Amino acid sequence: MSTPETILAVEHLTVVFHTYAGVVEAVRDVSFTLGKGEVLAIVGESGSGKSVTAQAVIGLTPIPPGEIRSGRIDYRGTDMARAGIATLAKIRGAGISMIFQDPMTSLNPSMQVGKQIREVLHQHKSLSSAESIAAAVELLRLVGIPEPESRLVQYPHQFSGGMRQRIMIAIAIANNPDILLADEPTTALDVTIQSQIFRLIRDIQKRFGTAMILITHDLGLVAGSADRIAVMYGGRIVEEGLTDQIYYNPQHPYTLGLLNAVPKLTDSGDAPLRTIEGLPPLLINPPDACAFADRCPFVMKICRQKDPGYFTPVPDNRAACWLHHESAASQRAAFTSARVPA
């Protein structure tokens, strides 16, 4: 299998926020790549740095209070971390688009949805009024909005939550971008609608060959959809690998904890829910050593003293865990025996 052309490379990204309580290190030395047509899922608990990473990629870090302290975000030769407003305006919506969590706060409540779609088209294409209307109708039809011609003149409050998210997807794909950032795109929807929206996003991604970064806290959502998974914790990527490897052969205790927390069909009806004990670390003065040490059932003395860096325990995987050091054979054996198929 050939490796896809790399269209996005994030290198040693660090993003901080200046608050009254101190400097919050939301993203710490994060690196990853995205290939053409590839789907990368970034998963982790709330506050792990997933959304902040996505916002930095598309140039939406609020400055102030945010600051991209270091790193490079290379999109086809342009460093998104250092690009000016004019350059970002050309790329957003055309090269990189984003589907946000809550469409009600992302759509303009005082503007007809047709005008909001046409606005994105006119930003990047020279279209007549008739051409943009026709394109907007076709986009609404593509995302499953019934009677799109009559619904162009309606406002966001006249649509259900699922329909509003479909409109957000139509806006995001209007200019056939290289990369689609989907930031918890189904969080505000009920379970049935979540499935429909996620299936729609995947169908569109496959149809147009768009690369996608899917941000989620739900590992169950990305099964069978993502090519690779990056697991974030405490502002860092603690494990990254191919999807099947992450599910069936996790190499980091935090990844194992996330997988075990997903209810399974084989569980009995009265089986207690499995959780990861403890709380995520505060990212004001975060630990220099392993951030997961205080919650890890396989913790060793060195975990609280020194950052592990990355090991490559299996092909196409990297894991930031001391369990993979040659001197940790006994603890690694305990971890291996604790793994269960996802």
Is residue 4 scored above 90 in pLDDT?
Answer: no
Judge if 129 and 184 occupy the same domain. no
Judge if 154 and 231 occupy the same domain. no
Give a yes or no: residue 46 inside a domain: yes
Query: Residues for the chain: how many in total?
Result: 342
Judge if 169 and 201 occupy the same domain. no
**Angle formed by the axes of helices 161-173 and 191-208, nearest 10°:** 10
| Structure confidence at residue 155 (pLDDT) | 93
In three-state secondary structure terms, 320 is coil
Give a yes or no: residue 309 inside a domain: no
Mean per-residue pLDDT for 89-107?
A: 87
Q: What is the mean pLDDT of the chain?
A: 89
Domain count, the chain: 2
Tokens of 163: 């329909």
| Structure confidence at residue 225 (pLDDT) | 82
Judge if 58 and 71 occupy the same domain. yes
Supply the DSSP symbol for 270: T
Q: What is the CATH number of the domain that holds 25?
A: 3.40.50.300
Is residue 269 scored above 70 in pLDDT?
Answer: no
Is residue 254 scored above 60 in pLDDT?
Answer: yes
Judge if 181 and 39 occupy the same domain. yes
Q: Characterise 332 by phi-psi region: left (phi > 0), alpha (psi -120 to 50), beta (else).
A: alpha
Judge if 181 and 249 occupy the same domain. yes
Query: Model confidence at 233, in pLDDT bands (50, 70, 90)?
Result: very high
**pTM over cut 0.85:** yes
Judge if 89 and 209 occupy the same domain. yes
Give a yes or no: residue 31 inside a domain: yes
Judge if 91 and 192 occupy the same domain. yes
Judge if 56 and 190 occupy the same domain. yes
Q: Which of 141, 174, 207 is the last residue of a domain?
A: 174
Domain span at 150: 108-174
Is residue 342 scored above 50 in pLDDT?
Answer: no
Give a yes or no: residue 152 inside a domain: yes
- Determine phi and psi for 160, rounding to 5 degrees: -75, 170
Measured CA to CA, the distance from residue 287 to residue 320 in angstroms comes to: 14
Judge if 119 and 266 occupy the same domain. no
Judge if 195 and 73 occupy the same domain. yes
Of 341, 317, 329, nearest to 32 (Cα)?
317
Give a yes or no: residue 333 inside a domain: no
Which pairing describes strands 236-242 and 96-99: parallel, antiparallel, or unpaired? unpaired
Question: In sequence order, which residues have a C-beta less than 8 Å from that of residue 266 and are 6 or more positions away?
Answer: none
Give a yes or no: residue 260 inside a domain: yes
Q: Which of 224, 243, 277 is the last residue of a domain?
A: 277
Judge if 116 and 243 occupy the same domain. no
Q: Is 1 exposed, middle or buried (0-12, 13-18, 19+ CB in 10 A)?
A: exposed
Of 115, 114, 76, 119, nearest to 95 (Cα)?
76
Q: Which of 174, 197, 231 is the last residue of a domain?
A: 174
